[in-house]
């Protein structure tokens, strides 16, 4: 399977993903252009997992551990 384009199920909805899919950061009010590749993914698995929500965020809204601000807060509280 290539990672330029594929479909995933996230929150019960089918979405297009991959580094060939143009998108905008999912942080409210952010208009940064990104793609839906693994480099912009919150977590480790497209669609979401125990490490993140599976959303796609620009570099400003991802932590060093590839989590969005909300998922990083939950992880910090669990530690």
Its pTM stands at 0.92
Domain total of the chain: 1
d(CA 23, CA 73): 24
Domain membership of residue 1 (yes or no) is no
> What region, left, alpha or beta, does residue 23 occupy, with left being phi > 0 and alpha being psi -120 to 50 degrees?
beta
Q: Range of 35's domain?
A: 6-78
Phi first, then psi: give them for residue 47, nearest 5 degrees: 100, -15
**Per-residue pLDDT tens for 12-67?**
999 999 999 999 999 999 999 999 999 999 999 999 999 999 999 999 999 989 99
């Amino acid at each position: 399977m290539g990672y330029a384009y594929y479909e995933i199920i996230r929150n019960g909805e089918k979405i297009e993903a991959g580094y060939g899919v143009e998108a905008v950061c999912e942080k409210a009010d952010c208009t940064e252009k990104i793609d839906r590749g693994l480099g912009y993914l919150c977590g480790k698995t497209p669609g979401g997992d125990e490490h993140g929500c599976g959303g796609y965020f620009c570099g400003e809204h991802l932590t060093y551990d590839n989590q969005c601000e909300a998922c990083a807060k939950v992880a910090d509280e669990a530690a």
